Amino acid sequence: MRFNSRGFRFPVMAAAMLVLSFSNLRGDWQRTDTSLAWAKGDNVFWKFSFDAKAGKPFFYPLSINGGTSLINFKPEDHPWHYGLWFSWKYINRVNYWEEDRTSGRAEGATLWTSPLIETTPEGGATIRLTVSYIHPSGRVELTEQREIRVSAPSADGGYTLAWRAHFTAGTEGVLLDRTPMPSEPEGKFNGGYGGLAIRLASAPLSFAAVSTHGFITHFEQERNRPNAAAVGFNIADGATQLGSVAIVSAPANAGAEAPWYIVNSTQMRFACAAILALKPLRYAPGAKWELNYRIFLRPAPWTPETLSAVATEAFPLAPK
């Protein structure tokens, strides 16, 4: 018999299986001037890119055990979709989301500093950078201190991204806006998106969406706008489950039942923590606020029950 770090006994065979499991997850840091990745040879678990030539900092790929990526990157239909990334839509009526197909630049510029990065030998990382949102005139409309903590992979290959963003409004204040919602004047069927976003793997891989309230099966005009603590997405290749990803919104962001915007079409699988769906937000000059999310990746598919469990674990409810 052997003992684990807590003093519990388990059989030698179980210990050998555990060592083998962890050996399969061992990787190496692959660091360049513009990216950080945890990988095993050519099998990339995750990669964070901060190339100043890109429109936004982003994660791509995100996978389980270095397998097929669960997310898509700069597809032809929306080349400003950067895998997993953050972007406001309109700041003071200037578009920071869509990018010109020729220049690759948005009307409003998103700029960032070279990140400060700390890593652990087991595959955990902390990434800190300052992001600035620049008006076409050169005025700094908004600054953001972003911190992303990536956990080392667990025995089954799962890991978590703890995403924290602290914002400070510029000297003119900020109005954060989006395409109008369908029920609003001049509303659009695709209104409301902006913020933390993920472009999920495309067909022929299969896709299933779930929230903490149940499976999401009805898409009107290929859209669904649930209100929930978290949403999750299961990606499979036929009968083979490739992995699943979930995003949990802190209750302080937009309430315990946060708004989401999800697209499910043959061409496009997309989700956004649509913090502005309820209404545009205005902040006075120098105002400060914060957004917190948890992104969970795991090999097993999400159910409403497992999603609710990780949502509660990520942001426990304060005692009454």
Residue 218, class by beta-carbon neighbours within 10 Å (0-12 exposed, 13-18 middle, 19+ buried)? exposed
What pLDDT shows up at residue 123?
A: 97
How confident is the model over 307-319, as pLDDT tens digits? 999 999 999 875 4
Distances (CA, A) of 154 to 59, 151, 309, 318: 19, 8, 17, 28
The mean pLDDT of 221-243, rounded to a whole number, is 97
Dist. CA 116–CA 126, nearest whole Å: 8
Q: List residues bridging with 127 in a β-sheet.
A: 117, 148
**Cβ contacts of residue 28 below 8 Å, gap of 6+?**
38, 39, 40
Total Cβ atoms within 10 A of residue 208:
16
Cβ atoms of residues 307 and 212 within 8 Å: yes
Instruction: Give 312-320 contacts, CB < 8 A, sequence gap 24+.
Output: 314/230, 314/248, 314/250, 315/229, 315/248, 315/250, 315/251, 317/251, 317/256
Dist. CA 47–CA 38, nearest whole Å: 7
Dist. CA 165–CA 292, nearest whole Å: 7
Confidence of residue 26 (pLDDT cuts 50, 70, 90): confident
More confident residue, 25 or 36: 36
How confident is the model over 105-134, as pLDDT tens digits? 999 999 999 999 999 999 999 999 999 999
Choice among 24-38, 123-137, 194-208 with the minimum mean pLDDT: 24-38
Dist. CA 182–CA 277, nearest whole Å: 10
**Does pLDDT of 149 surpass 50?**
yes
Total Cβ atoms within 10 A of residue 32:
11
Dist. CA 50–CA 112, nearest whole Å: 8
Cβ atoms of residues 163 and 295 within 8 Å: yes
Mean pLDDT of the chain: 92
Residue percentage of the chain with pLDDT more than 70: 91
Q: Which helix (H) or strand (E) holds 16?
A: helix 12-25
- Enter the pTM of the model: 0.92
Q: Give the domains, in start order, of the chain with CATH numbers.
A: 9-313 (2.70.98)
Nearest to 103 by CA among 57, 54, 58: 54
Dist. CA 62–CA 148, nearest whole Å: 14
Only one residue has tokens 């969970």, namely: 296
How confident is the model over 252-290, as pLDDT tens digits? 999 999 999 999 998 999 999 999 999 999 999 999 999
Confidence of residue 25 (pLDDT cuts 50, 70, 90): low
Q: Which helix (H) or strand (E) holds 297?
A: strand 288-298
What pLDDT shows up at residue 97?
A: 98
